[in-house]
Structure 1
């Protein structure tokens, strides 16, 4: 059995980067090191722990079963070290380490990415990776510090905090309105070409609510466009492919610029939460809370 005194703990961060990046080359680019240096560190780490951690082939790099267990333990050690440094630095100290964030594609691009730029200006020693994905990522398995999620969340043991809310507007391009006219009632939408988000449970139906609280469900029989991301649906709506029911944060600028027109402006899809989700650790890292604080004014 290897003795911890014989292991260079500085190699743990490099090893974690190799596993997360999926190759020595990608890890070297992320770390700003030469590939040969990263390879040497991995060879020496395997010698120090007395086990094969990685399987290298000409085409790819795989992690052994022992290597996967060692990676999970290494991540816990690195996370604990980062939290200890944050405690020592105090609340007003600079943030360091790495912050991994995941968010839906449209919200990530439009809201989270600018907030991350602002956070890095405030804390230049903090490295941040944003992963935009419309699927839910496993926060523990994929080493995510904070996930930004929209809408209703499934019950879980994860900590969550509300950072804002959003609604959906019925919008269309001016040329679409010129061709099909403006609907007077939600029921009129059912016969118009609709830009639908395919990943929703019921992509061809949606609920609208007016200022008096009256709710109506619209079921569309025709689809002008079907796509698996809200970003693609916004682009199709801008191009006149149909009307869309899109998030206010993604189309408010288009409406203000005249690129889109709000249809039935007294009707919106009911508001939903924007929440930050944290993995089930003893303490939420200060770096994750700092990002949440920046997002709150942009999400309300």
Structure 2
């Protein structure tokens, strides 16, 4: 039969046995001798058994009390060990870091960063999920997501890691054939490769060094649903598009892609770590700090 027992009284019972007297136990626990006695009486009533026989001068465990005391000591030790393990998780990265991000950013930035992060924390396991859809972090049990661009309203917590520039790109071969646009308006006559995941994939606002803004509507030739696919189309000469700096830096240095209208700025995007836990464990805090430092050096 199930018994309703106040578990706090188990600790008082163990403290009483350890102290050897009600007076000493009361002093150790910071309560009155009468309170200690009342807790013991209620515990015995809840259990339906006498745990301690006492007189005015001494007390002794009954047979049931001896067995119950041994179980209580083991239970409290296990509870203390669990509390200490939770404390370790607050300060030392442990367990599995499960995170998600987009295909292009995951392949080009997050995966290499995770490899270096794991070298610093080899005891930590990593589970990276690449997905261009917005995942439900709580339902899918993610520790965090690395999200690129502009955050939607959410009850989740977010930490800014850095930002990225958006640049108009084309191949040198394409530009040799079609000409180099000198003003934003000239882009409207070039075949545009749109990224369909954006809210306005064909409408772009350029800001000059003087602060003047020009908005241009492009002429779509093709579209793709992520930046990596758009990059592949641009590299194969299909047209012109906007690409993030983290995805094309190597292409620019190798001469495979050329930056157009460098004197104008497009809106910069943010890079954020998004996580559900209001008190994130050490593994999440450590990776956020690692990524923030890494991006600051780019």
TM superposition score normalised by structure 1: 0.68
Residue 83 of structure 1 deviates from its aligned partner by 9.5
Confirm or deny that 1:88 pairs with 2:88: yes
- Deviation of residue 195 (structure 1)? 1.3
Which residue is 2:285 aligned to? 289
Against the structure 1 CA distance between its residues 178 and 121, is the aligned structure 2 distance closer, same or farther, given a 3 Å change threshold? same
Counterpart of 2:236 in structure 1 is 239
From 250, 269, 274, the counterpart of 1:272: 269
Task: Please list the CA deviations of residues 21-57 of structure 1 after superposition, one character each: whole Å capped at 9, or x if unmatched.
Answer: xxxxxxxxxxxxxxxxxxxxxxxxxxxxxxxxxxxxx
Q: Distance between the aligned counterparts of 1:218 and 1:83, measured in 2?
A: 59
Q: Distance in 2 between matches of 1:119 and 1:86?
A: 22
CA distance in structure 2 between the aligned counterparts of 1:169 and 1:232, rounded to whole angstroms: 16
Match of 1:257? 254
Match of 1:155 in 2: 153
Quick one: distance in 2 between partners of 1:83 and 1:220? 59
Say which of 116, 120, 123 aligns to 2:121.
123
Question: What is the TM-score when the length of structure 2 is the normalising length?
Answer: 0.68
Map Cα deviations across residues 87-116 of structure 1 (whole Å, 9 max, x no partner). 22673x4x2211111111111111111111
C-alpha distance in structure 2 between counterparts of 1:83 and 1:117, whole Å = 31
Deviation at 1:290? Answer: 1.3
Preserved contact between residue 191 and residue 222 of structure 1 (Cα < 8 Å): no
For 1:202, which of 197, 200, 203 is the aligned residue?
A: 200
Per-residue CA deviations over 1:109-129 (Å, capped at 9, x if unaligned) read: 111111111111111121111
Q: 1:239 to 1:85 in 2, by over 3 A?
A: farther
More off after superposition, 285-294 vs 185-194: 285-294
In 1, the alpha carbon distance for the partners of 2:84 and 2:155 equals 24
1:84 Cα shift?
5.9
Q: Which of structures 1 and 2 has the bigger CA Rg?
A: 2
Q: What SS class does the counterpart of residue 270 from structure 1 fall into?
A: coil
Aligned equivalents of 2:258 and 2:83: distance in 1? 48
Write the distance in 2 (CA, Å) between the matches of 1:82 and 1:135.
37
Which structure 1 segments of 5+ residues have no match?
3-80
Q: Please, which runs of 5 or more residues in structure 2 have no aligned partner? A: 3-80
Contact 1:172 1:242 in 2 (8 A): yes
Instruction: Give the one of 210, 213, 218 matched to 2:211.
Output: 213
Mapping 1:1-300, distance limit 5 Å: 85=85, 87-88=87-88, 91=91, 93=92, 95-223=93-221, 225-279=222-276, 281-300=277-296
Distance 1:120 1:86, change over 3 A: farther
Determine the C-alpha separation between the residues in 2 that align with 1:251 and 1:282.
35
- Contact 1:166–1:299 (Cα < 8 Å) also in 2: no
Shift of 1:86: 5.8
1:83–1:235 Cα change, 3 Å:
farther
The runs of at least 4 consecutive aligned structure 1 residues that moved more than 4 Å come to 81-84
